Chains A and B, each alone.
Chain A
Amino acid sequence: MPAATSKSAFLRGIRAAAPFLVVVIPFGMLFGVVGTEAGLSLVEVMSFTTLVIAGASQFTALQLMAEEAPTLIVIASALAVNLRMAMYSAALAPHLGAAPFWQRALIAYMNVDQTYALSHQNHEDHPAAPLADKVAFFFGTCVPIVPLWVAATWTGVVVGAAIPPQLGLDFAVPITFLALIGPALRTLAHVAAALTSVVMAVLLSFLPWNLWLLAAGLAAMIVGAEVERRMALRGRP
């Protein structure tokens, strides 16, 4: 009986994740195209996309490498973009933390924006569901997202070789970031953080080794958090 309900939770996860392919496939392809144009080999691009599975940080690393930033700065900045996933991990732990170690390791590996968001919603909708169902739902959401992200990157590498450089695809990276920022400006605090980020990037641009990026990010996080705290005190979302 639990097996039967787990199976239906697994199928529900697959169905819930399917619409996200509209976003996942083009971004995966774009990473393949841009990574190839930046000079990475097929094996390097595919290792990147398979090990990291996080578009924004992968593009961050590519951009900094194009600017020939020091290796440590590339790593620190791209990881900073992924820090939000510690929050995802903390949010999933109360629901999935009792699963066996290997399952938790697999969940962590595939804990990306989409699978997290869908699972979070599932836990809100079915808080009392058994552990096996919650785990099954999570893995269900991974079924379309993760393999197609990797396959899309591979397609991008193959297609990218045929794209002429005059198309200006190097500018697709900042355009991609802007496209992610717009929908993320959900509250006044998000807007304040983004504006701080822009202003600090200009003011601190004299700093060496691309350190302005981490400094601007830190300042923006502090401003975002502070605006959120004050808004909450005033009783507004």
Chain B
Amino acid sequence: MSGYSTLEVWIIILALGVGTFLIRFSFLGVLGDRDLPPWVLRHLRYTAVGILPAMVTPLVLWPHGAEGGLDPQRIAAAAAALALGLWTKNPIWAVGGGMVMFWCFGWLLG
């Protein structure tokens, strides 16, 4: 985070606050009660599930940069979190299980 000035941090916070509000206000506030074309709705349904996996991939596969090699501790923890999320449908169990796996692995590797 050292790469950002205080001003830049505040620009990010305010832009996200205003931008997120405008997204949420769009139809309620301005566009009103009109139907979105089905193809737009279809794409919007996959925004979160489209971006979050891309975000996670490098953090799990090359946490120490492209030449850093695979890190079994992170891969095991990630697999545990994903599997628990799929199985329980409960993100809290998934976070808990993933972090426990991360710590156990760290302890084993010593």
Contact = CB atoms under 8 A, between A and B. Distances in A.
A175 B20 contact: no
Interface string B56-93: 11111101001000000010011001111111111110
Contacts of A217: 47, 50-51, 54
Given A185-B86, A194-B53, A221-B43, A179 B24 contact: no
A150 interface: no
Q: How large is the interface on A (under 10, 10 to 19, 20 to 34, 35 or more residues)?
A: 35 or more
A71 B16 contact: no
Given A85-B24, A193-B49, A52 B56 contact: no
A222 B15 CA distance: 26
A81 B47 contact: yes
Contacts of B44: 83-84, 86-87, 221
A77 to B, nearest CB: 7
A28 B56 CA distance: 20
A197 interface: yes
Contact of B78 (A175, A180, A184, A229): A175
A94 B33 contact: yes
Contacts of A180: 48, 52, 85, 91
A86 B23 contact: yes
A190 interface: yes
A128 interface: no
B25 A202 contact: no
- A contacts with B: majority SS: helix
B94 A178 contact: yes
B24 A111 contact: yes
A90 B27 contact: yes
Nearest to A55: B91
A205 B14 CA distance: 29
Nearest to B84: A182
Interface stretch (A4-12, A37-45, A155-163): A37-45
B50 A178 contact: no
Given A175-B99, A182-B81, A183-B89, A93 B46 contact: no
Contacts of A83: 23, 44, 47
B28 A89 contact: yes
A80 interface: yes
Contact of A51 (B16, B46, B74): B16
B20 A85 contact: yes
A162 B21 CA distance: 33
Interface string B99-110: 100110010000
A173 interface: yes
A201 B53 contact: yes
A173 B59 contact: yes
B61 to A, nearest CB: 7
Which 7 pairs of residues, A with B, have the shortest CB-CB distance? A182-B85, A51-B17, A220-B50, A224-B46, A179-B94, A216-B54, A217-B51
29 contacts: A40-B1, A40-B9, A47-B17, A57-B16, A66-B1, A68-B1, A68-B3, A79-B16, A79-B20, A81-B51, A93-B33, A97-B27, A104-B28, A111-B28, A171-B74, A171-B77, A174-B74, A178-B85, A182-B82, A182-B85, A182-B89, A185-B86, A193-B46, A197-B52, A197-B54, A198-B54, A213-B54, A220-B49, A228-B45
